[in-house]
């Protein structure tokens, strides 16, 4: 099946939740799944061990293997973390880490940070990282008012950078959507032919069984 890069049309859009959901659902289907994150910010100490928060979220619910290449403290962009800590990112390390890790699995979920034009490291945006790893991408959005603009710009950004889009996942669809939320897919289809892979409901709390059920229909 290969690898998929998870990006978003904004920050705090649910990339980690979608990554976890896909990992759990496809593991449940019997595939060997891995999760790789080139850059992880927001690390914190737990029992004197530095914890990668996104990886910790997955580890709470699964024994799926995980890996990151660079881990930073603080809720800041990877680019800013590199500047503050005077770190020169080695792109060859990222590629080698990814290739050695991903060859163990049927499916590897690779998660970015922010969106395609979010700075990743000195002189590189996340769209550059995707191209460097030669991956297809899934774009995560929510159906909130204003997201259509961000989503369409992200799609155009991907096309301009020759990044193949696997599709879109619409995250956090309310149980009782507003008019604009309920018509989000209809409006989207007027402006792009990029496929909607799945619509994930808004979860008040993490329910592993329901999340697996919600992501099982997402075809990669």
Name all contacts of 147-154 with Cβ < 8 Å and 24+ positions apart. Answer: 147/9, 147/10, 147/184, 148/184, 148/187, 148/188, 148/191, 150/9, 150/10, 150/115, 151/9, 151/188, 152/188, 152/191, 152/192, 153/9, 154/7, 154/8, 154/9, 154/115, 154/116
Q: Which listed residue (15, 37, 67, 166) is catalytic? A: 37
SS3 60: coil
Token pair 């290739």 in the structure block, residue: 99
What is the rounded CA–CA span in Å between residue 121 and residue 39?
9
- Residue 150 near residue 114 (C-beta atoms within 8 A): no
Q: If you count them, how many residues does the chain have?
A: 220
Sequence-distant (≥ 6) Cβ neighbours of residue 132 within 8 angstroms? 91, 94, 95
Q: Is 122 a catalytic residue?
A: no
Q: Which residues are catalytic?
A: 37
């Amino acid at each position: 099946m290969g690898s998929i890069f998870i990006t978003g049309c904004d920050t705090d859009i649910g990339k980690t939740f979608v990554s976890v959901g896909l990992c759990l659902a496809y593991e449940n289907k019997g595939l060997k799944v891995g999760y790789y994150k080139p850059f992880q910010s927001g690390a914190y100490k737990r029992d004197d061990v530095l914890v990668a928060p996104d990886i910790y979220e997955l580890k709470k619910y699964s024994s799926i293997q995980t890996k990151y290449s660079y881990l930073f403290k603080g809720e800041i962009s990877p680019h800013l973390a590199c500047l503050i800590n005077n770190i020169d990112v080695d792109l060859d390390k990222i590629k080698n880490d990814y290739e050695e890790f991903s060859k163990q699995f049927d499916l590897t979920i690779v998660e970015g940070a922010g969106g395609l034009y979010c700075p990743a490291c000195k002189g590189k945006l996340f769209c550059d990282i995707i191209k460097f790893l030669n991956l297809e991408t899934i774009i995560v959005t929510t159906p909130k008012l204003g997201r259509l603009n961000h989503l369409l710009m992200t799609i155009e950004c991907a096309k301009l950078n020759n990044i193949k889009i696997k599709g879109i996942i619409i995250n956090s669809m309310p149980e009782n959507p507003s008019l604009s939320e309920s018509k989000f897919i209809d409006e989207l289809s007027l402006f792009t032919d990029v496929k909607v892979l799945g619509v994930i409901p808004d979860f008040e709390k993490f329910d592993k069984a329901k999340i697996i059920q919600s992501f099982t229909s997402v075809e990669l």
